[in-house]
Amino acid sequence: MRMLTLDPDALRRFAALALHLDEEADVAAISVEPMPGGASTRSYFRVRTADASAIVMFVPDAKPDEITSGAAPTRWPFLEVRDLLEARGVRVPRVLAEDCAAGLLALEDLGDVTLAAFLEQAPARKEEIYRAAVRDLGRAQIALAELPEGSIVRSRAFDETLLRWEIDHFREWGLDARDLPLDAADRAAFDGIADRLARRVAALPRVFVHRDYQSRNLMVVPGASGGADAAELVWIDFQDALMGPRVYDLVALLGDSYQTFTRDFIEARLDDYASARDLASERASIGEEFDLVTVQRKLKDAGRFVFIDRVKKNPSFLQYVEPTIAKVLGALERLRGDEDMRALEALLRKRLGL
């Protein structure tokens, strides 16, 4: 796929289109402010005049940010998934202009208050905002139970191959790259456990999965009611959506590598989810699935953070490697009744010196 380069003049002309400017003098007055990026290749800019603003996303290529399993996209996945979510009642950014051939997309400016930033500004509202995030997720899963024929989301899934690759991603980057390789016996044991773990997670019933439903990918904006304390959550960064376990996005949210929660807080939010989905009779199963998926997902995350440092030359995520591994070990402790999970905990503690 051809890589695109960003032309500053083209960016400014595109911004003028998004902001509905006609006069050359008005175009020249547009301010363009680079915004902090995450771990992807995308770049973001806030463009504004005295009266309006927008966020311009530049995508040098349309490859998925994560490894996927399924059909190649025929349209930008971000746009297809955005339209699907909006049609099903999920709050997402409005599209103001698009020029996919140039790699440019202009979106509604939602401000700078992510859920993570909101927690720093209003820590006392933590339970309230997370209850809203869990409620929104439950409602979205119900609304997205049936997907359109040909939807890119239907074509991609957390199948056994993808899940297994992600566990190997941890071994390669979370262990080998940090000079903590497994010896032959431990490698054989790890591979066997990884095979069975991937198989078990792949066999769980599948629903729509955002894939990275966490505090940096939810924006907090004033609620429609207009009250001083009203807040609404807006989903972003959903272009890698696929089919997967019902608890996967809960693991991303409540096992967030960038946040710390007590176990009581997590259990209460799992209760909220069961209530939102009318699954009270399955609450125990939800908890077990949550821990099992936590092991798989957070192993991948720990390896991914090292990969981003070594390959993408972005060391900012390294601080989350150890806390993320701690979340894996916590889940493994709760799963000690399972022979594989007990063996994996012992193997990791031995290799990591914990």
The residue extents of the domains of the chain are 8-108, 115-352
Task: Write out pLDDT tens, residues 216-242.
Answer: 999 999 876 555 567 899 999 999 999
Of the given ranges (14-23, 175-184, 241-250, 259-268), which has the lowest mean pLDDT?
14-23
d(CA 19, CA 15): 6
Predicted pLDDT at 38: 60
d(CA 188, CA 9): 55
Share of the chain above pLDDT 90, in %: 79
Residues 175-193 as b or e (16 or more Cβ within 10 Å = b): bebeeeebeeebeebbeeb
d(CA 333, CA 346): 10
CATH no., domain 115-352: 3.90.1200.10
Task: Write out pLDDT tens, residues 254-301.
Answer: 999 999 999 999 999 999 999 999 999 999 999 999 999 999 999 999
* CATH label, 8-108, candidates 3.40.50.1390, 3.30.450.20, 3.30.200.20, 3.30.499.10: 3.30.200.20
Q: Which residues pair with 43 in a beta bridge?
A: 58
